[in-house]
Amino acid sequence: MKRLLLIVLSLVLFVGCQSKPLEWENLTILSPKGAPALSLIPLLDEAKDPIEFVDGTDVISAELIKGEQDMIIAPVNLGAALSKKGENQYRLYAVVTWGNLYLVGPSNTDINAETIAIFGEQAVPGLVYKHVLNQSYEAFASVTDVQGQLLAGQNKVGLLAEPLVTATIAKAKGLNPALELSILSNLQQLWSDKTGQDNYPQAAIFVKADLSEDKQAQIDARLEKMKAYNEAINQNPSQLETDITEERMAQLGVPAAKILVSAWERMNIDVQAIAEVKDTVEVFLELFKLNGLENYYFE
């Protein structure tokens, strides 16, 4: 009987230990500004992790090589390029944002008759554009340059990314005389038609290659918070009007909340673990001849 009681007590203690909630440990997080940064709003609300937001990819690239951050959000193709060189200290853990490119111009414009203003000719925007459209184009240095061409009437149709699509359409209405712009083509749909994949990945969460089980549990806890927030905003985008204060706008490098509410669905923020979307990532990386890399994914 004593032995039986000991066994029962041990089982109770074991179950109690198993159900013990995770104790939050601070992680250092680095992210580019813009759409990927929006996925981190729930972690900003927690106010426990040191999170740094940066412009461009220079700092992101350097940190992937240095290996000093716990978690980095970076372009999928950038991480793959560094892995191919053997310089990436991190592995792809989850995709955060997906394609958000659109052709914008006056309604009823025949895009086949126009020279399209594009940006990022040798980067994701340009390569995706050339992969899905056999259409003449003029390349510009940045997406804001393309916006300027559209608003000045120098190019009738331009390639833009959300949320700048929504911001540009709104800004055009305020011109004198007003310019009525609209979305003429969804490049994600064209990508799906050509590849059979729903979309293509843009930014992803990268974690250290030698991630410990404890750190993995910490990362997973954050993914769950990010997913839950994402789903909540999908149901009620107007919540962004509360979450995106003026201070947050500057911190995250995003436009006003009203623009984000209108653009949310087309921004395609969707946090998914790599196990769920690896094949989709591989199809995308074929554009850069970076598919099939060993030791690129956290598995």
Per-residue pLDDT of the chain (299 residues; tens, 9 = 90+): 544 444 444 554 554 445 567 787 899 999 999 999 999 999 999 999 999 999 999 999 999 999 999 999 999 999 999 999 999 999 999 999 999 999 999 999 999 999 999 999 999 999 999 999 989 999 999 999 999 999 999 999 999 999 999 999 999 999 999 999 999 999 999 999 999 999 999 999 999 999 999 999 999 999 999 999 999 999 999 999 999 999 999 999 999 999 999 999 999 999 999 999 999 999 999 999 999 998 999 98
What order do you get walking across the sheet with 51-54 strand by strand? 51-54, 29-32, 71-75, 201-208, 90-98, 269-273
DSSP string, the chain: -HHHHHHHHHHHHHHHHHTPPPPP----EEEESSHHHHTTHHHHHHT-S-EEEESSSHHHHHHHHH---SEEEEEHHHHHHHHHTT---EEEEEEEEE--EEEEEETT--GGGSPEEEE-TTSHHHHHHHHH----EEEESSHHHHHHHHHHTS-S-EEEETTHHHHHHHHHHTSSS---EEEEEEHHHHHHHHHS-S--EEEEEEEETT--HHHHHHHHHHHHHHHHHHHHHHH-GGGHHHH--HHHHHHHT---HHHHHHHHHHH-EEEEEHHHHHHHHHHHHGGGT-TT-TT-B--
- Cross-strand pairs, 52: 30
Tell me the pTM. Answer: 0.90
The domains found in the chain, sorted by start residue, are: 29-98+200-288 (3.40.190.10), 101-195 (3.40.190.10)
